[in-house]
A and B are shown apart, each in its own frame.
Chain A
Amino acid sequence: MYTLLSGLWKYMFQKDEYCILILGLDNAGKTTFLEQTKTKFNRNYKGMNLSKITTTVGLNIGTIDVGSARLMFWDLGGQEELQSLWDKMLEASSLVSVAECYPQQRSFHSSLEGNTCLSVGDIKTAFSDCASKIGKRDCLVQPCSALTGQGVNDGIEWMVKCVIRNIHRPPRQKDIT
Chain B
Amino acid sequence: MAGHFRSYVWDPILIISQIILMQCIYYSFLGIWLAVVDSLVQNSRSLDQVFSYEVLGFSTAQGRLSMMAFILNSLTCALGLWYFIRRGKQCLDFTVTIHIFHFMGCWIYNLHFPTALSWWLVNIVCIALMAVIGEYLCMRTELRAIPVNTGPKSNL
Expressed in whole angstroms, the minimum distance between the Cβ of B85 and any Cβ of chain A is 10
Q: Are B10 and A176 in contact (CB-based, < 8 A)?
A: yes
- Known: A1-B93, A1-B100, A3-B93; 4 extra A-B contacts, CB below 8 A, are A3-B15, A7-B10, A173-B1, A176-B8
* SS of A interface (majority): helix
Number of A-B contacts (CB under 8 A): 30
**Residue in chain A with minimal CB distance to B101:** A1
Q: Are B8 and A175 in contact (CB-based, < 8 A)?
A: yes
Number of A interface residues in the complex (CB < 8 A): 12
Number of B interface residues in the complex (CB < 8 A): 13
With beta carbons under 8 angstroms apart, the residue of B1, B9, B19 that contacts A1 is B19
What's the Cα separation between A176 and B11 when bound, in Å?
9
Interface centre among A3, A7, A11, A173, by most chain B C-beta atoms within 10 angstroms, is A3
Q: Are A4 and B9 in contact (CB-based, < 8 A)?
A: no
What's the Cα separation between A105 and B90 when bound, in Å?
58
Interface residues of A in 150-177 (CB under 8 A from B): 173, 175-177
**Residue in chain A with minimal CB distance to B97:** A1
- Residues of B within 8 Å of A3, CB to CB, are 10, 15, 90, 93
- Residues of B within 8 Å of A11, CB to CB, are 10
> Is there a chain B Cβ closer than 8 Å to A13's Cβ?
no
